[in-house]
Amino acid sequence: MADTLTLINWIILFGTSFFLLALSWSSFREKEIRAAVISLIFLILNTFFWSFFLTNSEVFQTFNVVIVSLTTILGLASFIKYFPGKPGKRDTSKAQQYDERDNMFARNNIKHYPELLETYYAMRPENRSIDQQIHNKPEFGEKDQVYHDPYTAPCYEAAFEYLEKSIPLSKGNVAEHKTPIDPVRFGKTIIDMSKFYGACDVSFLRLKPHHFYSHKGRHAKNWGDKTDSSHKTAIAIVVPMRVEMIKKGPTSSVLQESAQKYVEAAKISNIIAGYIRNFGYPARAHNDANYDTLCVPIAVESGFGELGRMGIFMHRVHGPCVRLAIVTTNLELPDSSLQKSLHMEEFCKICKKCADNCPSGSITHDDETYSRNFRHWSIQQEKCFSYWKTIGSDCGLCISVCPYTKPDTLFHKFVRFYISRNFLNQKIALFMDDLLYGRYKKIAKTNPENIFSA
C-alpha cells in the first residue's frame, strides 16, 4: 500500500510540475510575465506540497489517500461533458434581414450626402440626435484623435483606399462556357487554395434570406437598393489576426492589424470568386466595405465558432481574433457546415470580461435578448463607434481581454478542450485566466513605440 501510494505521489508530482513548468515557459514566450511568474510560484508550492507526502508517507497516509483520491476523481470528472440547462440551438428560421443603412459606418458616411441624410432620418428619426454627435467627432486619420500618429495613420488609410479601389474585382466577367466540375473535388480545391493564400478555415453553406442585407447602405452609389440574394451557396473564409498586435488594444496597432487582415481577406475572396467565374459560374466576393451579406451569421452557421457576448464572431481556435470574408455563387457545393457545439456561448455567459473592460460601455452584462426574431447578443453600436472616432482606432479591447484570444499553442489547445467539457471546467478556467492574466486591462495613454511590431 505504502509503495503504491509513493509511486502515485511521484507520478502526480512529475505530472503537475511538468504542466506548470510548460505553462510558465509558454507564458514567458508569449511575453505574459504575470502568468509566467504566478506559474513558477505554483510550481514551487506544488513541489513542496507533494514532497511533504513523499517524506511523511506513513504519518499522513490516510490524509494522503484522501488527497490522491480527490485529485484522481476531479481529474477524471473534468473530461465528462455536462452542461445542464443548455439552451436549444439558436433558431434563425424566422430571422429578419438587417438593413445595411442602419450600420454605423453607413450612418457616419451619409453626412457627406445631404439628400441621403434627410431620406435616412425620415425613415429613422430616432437616430438623428446621436448620429449628429458622432458626425461632429474627428474622422479617422485626423490629428485630434487620441492615438493619431502622423507617420502611420496614412498606412491604414492607404489600406482602406486600396480595398475601396479593389471593389470591382469582387465581381467580374463570367467565362462564356461552363466547365463541368466534380463538386466535391472543386470544393476541396477551393479550401486548399484559400488556405494557401492565408485563410485558416473555409466552409460551404446553403444561403438563407437572413444571410443577406435587405438594402445597401455603405456607399452613396446604389444606396437604398435591395441586395442581390440570388446566389445559392456561401463560401465562408476566416483569416486569423496576430494576438500580439491585438493585445496592444485600443492603440493604433489594432487598426493597423485590422486593415492588414481585411486586405488579406479581400485578396483571398476576390481570387476565389475569380477562380469560380473562370469555370463559367457567377460568383461575388464580399469583403470590407463591400458586403451584400452579413459575415457573422454565415460563419456561425458554418460551425466555425459561435456568437460571443461582444456581438462578434468567436472562432473555435482563435476566438474573436479573426477577420471574415464571404464568396457567394449560384454553384451548388456540398454543405460542409459543422454541427458540433463548442459551448463557447456558455462560457460567454459567465465570463463577462469584455463587458467589464469595454471603455465605452457598449457591451451588455445581461443575457441574450430577442431582436430581428432570434436570440442573440448585440452591442450598442453608437457608443462603440463614437469611441472609435474619439481614439482613432477600432479599439479591440474586448478582443484583447477575451480568454479565447490566445496563441494556438499546445497548452492553449488543451485549455480550449478543457473548457468545452463541462460548466465546472469553465468556471475553473475563468478563475485561472483572471488570476494569470488579470481581470482588468489598463488602457495605454499613447501608442507603443513601434506600432507595427508584433
Rounded CA-CA distance 13/9 in Å is 6
The amino acid that residue 358 corresponds to is C
pLDDT at 88 over 70: no
pLDDT at 35 over 70: yes
Q: For residue range 391-449, what is the model confidence (pLDDT) as tens digits?
A: 999 999 999 999 999 999 999 999 999 999 999 999 999 999 999 999 999 999 999 99
pLDDT for 342 equals 80
Query: DSSP 3-state assignment of 313?
Result: strand
pLDDT at 110 over 70: yes
C-alpha cell at position 54: 513523499
C-beta separation of 439 from 34 below 8 A: no
Rounded CA-CA distance 184/204 in Å is 11
C-alpha cell at position 269: 475572396
pLDDT interval class at 57 (50, 70, 90): confident
Rounded CA-CA distance 407/246 in Å is 11
First to last CA, the chain: 54
Half-sphere exposure in the Cβ direction for 304 (13 Å, CA):
32
C-alpha cell at position 213: 442585407
- Residue 151: is it exposed, middle or buried by C-beta count within 10 angstroms (0-12/13-18/19+)? exposed
Q: Who wins on pLDDT, 90 or 146?
A: 146
pLDDT at 170 over 70: yes
pLDDT for 171 equals 96
pLDDT for 53 equals 87
pLDDT for 323 equals 99
pLDDT for 89 equals 75
28 phi and psi, to 5 degrees? -65, -45
Rg (CA), the chain: 25
Nearest alpha carbon to residue 397 among 284, 258, 188, 246: 246
C-alpha cell at position 178: 461552363
C-beta separation of 329 from 183 below 8 A: no
> Could you tell me where the beta strands, DSSP code E, fall in 131-254?
201-206, 233-240
Rounded CA-CA distance 202/238 in Å is 6
* DSSP annotation string for 261-285: HHHHHHHHHHHHHHHHHTTT--EEE
Rounded CA-CA distance 89/266 in Å is 31
pLDDT at 308 over 90: yes
C-alpha cell at position 246: 491585438
% residues pLDDT > 70 (the chain): 99
Lowest-pLDDT range, 33-42, 75-84, 376-385?
A: 75-84
pLDDT interval class at 332 (50, 70, 90): very high
pLDDT for 242 equals 98
Nearest alpha carbon to residue 204 among 272, 261, 260: 272
pLDDT for 86 equals 66
Q: What mean pLDDT, rounded, does the chain reach?
A: 95
Longest dimension (CA), the chain: 87
Contacts of 305 (CB under 8 A, 6+ apart): 299, 313, 314, 315, 316, 319, 342, 344
Say what the alpha-carbon torsion angle 196, 307, 341, 297 is, to the nearest 10 degrees.
-60
Segment 238-247 shows an average pLDDT of 98
pLDDT at 105 over 70: yes
Q: Which residue is it, cell 476566438?
A: 319
Half-sphere exposure in the Cβ direction for 4 (13 Å, CA):
3
Altogether, the residues listed in the chain come to a count of: 454
C-beta separation of 426 from 419 below 8 A: yes
pLDDT at 103 over 70: yes
